[in-house]
Amino acid sequence: MRLFIESVAREAGKEALAYFTDMKHFTVSGKATTRDLVSDADRAVEKKIIELIRAEYPEHSIFGEETGRDTGNSEYCWVIDPIDGTQSFVKRHPYFSISIALKKNGKTIAGCVYAPVLGLMFSAEEGKGAFENGVPMHVSDCDEIGNAACATGFACLRAQKMEHNNLKYFNEIVPLIRDIKRCGSAALDLAFVASGRYDAYWEFSLAEYDIAAGIFLVESAGGVVLKPSNGNPELELSVLAANPVLIKQFQPFFE
């Protein structure tokens, strides 16, 4: 299954690159809010992914960012973000990814995050471990918050949740860590925790398709993902990811 998902992501990556390199022209429009963008490329890449999955597994359900949930009632459901980091994509920033997760009865059993410009394929399958470009990967062994290279993001602000924004945590945590990055693809940020490039990552108010595959990668690579929601249902789809030692040092900031 892992290799099938990788092959779908690679094909989808070719489609994304055709738009990214301007071989195919795309236009950008706003979604529900003016800060939330969608391009022809998002729709074309999602269509390609769905075609390839349907050809192999016609009975499975599909939940895609652009097409929504289909009405299938299979125990299997594919959760797809065709371009995670659309804002990066439309500005020709290489930090965007294709995210595909397969859930069985609501539990992720396989997934991949693929960054086509960077040439990085991250994938995992239940019981088989996690891989970067086919090589087993593991979360970092950083055990001290002062040495931690971290990432975060501001989906909460783009979702216009001004009250529950990330600025409080950003201000508290950044002075204590070694580095902070904000590149704009939650799926890839999680993959970078899984592969040890980041020691920790947190972000609030994401969507299921942003994080389904990435959470699975982190857990499959020996890491931990917490949901720093503090019981607030609005913040349910929020993540704090790190290795099992470091997560204990970050957790208190989110309590």
Confirm or reject binding of residue 86 to ligand 2AM (CB under 6 A): yes
Q: Could you tell me how far CA 167 lies from the centroid of its own chain?
A: 21
φ/ψ of residue 7, rounded to 5: -65, -40
Confirm or reject binding of residue 84 to ligand 2AM (CB under 6 A): yes
Instruction: Give dist(CA 102, CA 158) in Å, integer.
Output: 27
Confirm or reject binding of residue 206 to ligand 2AM (CB under 6 A): yes
85 binds, among Ca ion, ligand 2AM, none (CB under 5 to 8 A by kind): ligand 2AM
Query: How many other CB atoms are found less than 10 A from the CB of residue 23?
Result: 8
Can you spell out the DSSP letters for 37-49?
EEEHHHHHHHHHH
Q: Could you tell me how far CA 185 lies from the centroid of its own chain?
A: 6
Name the maximum alpha-carbon separation found in the chain.
51
Instruction: Give dist(CA 232, CA 204) in Å, integer.
Output: 11
Cβ of residue 37: shortest distance to Ca ion, in angstroms? 11
Q: In Å, how far are 63, 91, 135 from 76, measured between CA atoms?
A: 11, 35, 27
Confirm or reject binding of residue 40 to ligand 2AM (CB under 6 A): no
Both tokens assigned to 46: 């999602």
Stretch that binds ligand 2AM, among 125-133, 136-144, 182-190, 212-220 (CB under 6 A): 182-190
Residue 77: what residue type? C
Q: Which of 6, 46, 66, 81 binds ligand 2AM (CB under 6 A)?
A: 81
Give the residue with the Cβ less far from ligand 2AM, 5 or 41. 41
Confirm or reject binding of residue 15 to ligand 2AM (CB under 6 A): no
Stretch that binds ligand 2AM, among 107-115, 122-130, 203-211, 212-220 (CB under 6 A): 203-211
Cβ of residue 144: shortest distance to ligand 2AM, in angstroms? 27
Strands 120-125 and 97-104: unpaired
Q: Which of 154, 170, 253, 254 binds ligand 2AM (CB under 6 A)?
A: 154
Secondary structure letter of residue 210 according to DSSP = H
Both tokens assigned to 224: 């931990």
Give the residue with the Cβ less far from ligand 2AM, 91 or 248. 91
Cβ of residue 128: shortest distance to ligand 2AM, in angstroms? 26
Site of interaction with Ca ion (CB under 5 A)? 81, 84, 210
Residues that bind ligand 2AM (CB under 6 A): 36, 81, 84-87, 153-155, 158-159, 184-186, 203, 205-207, 210
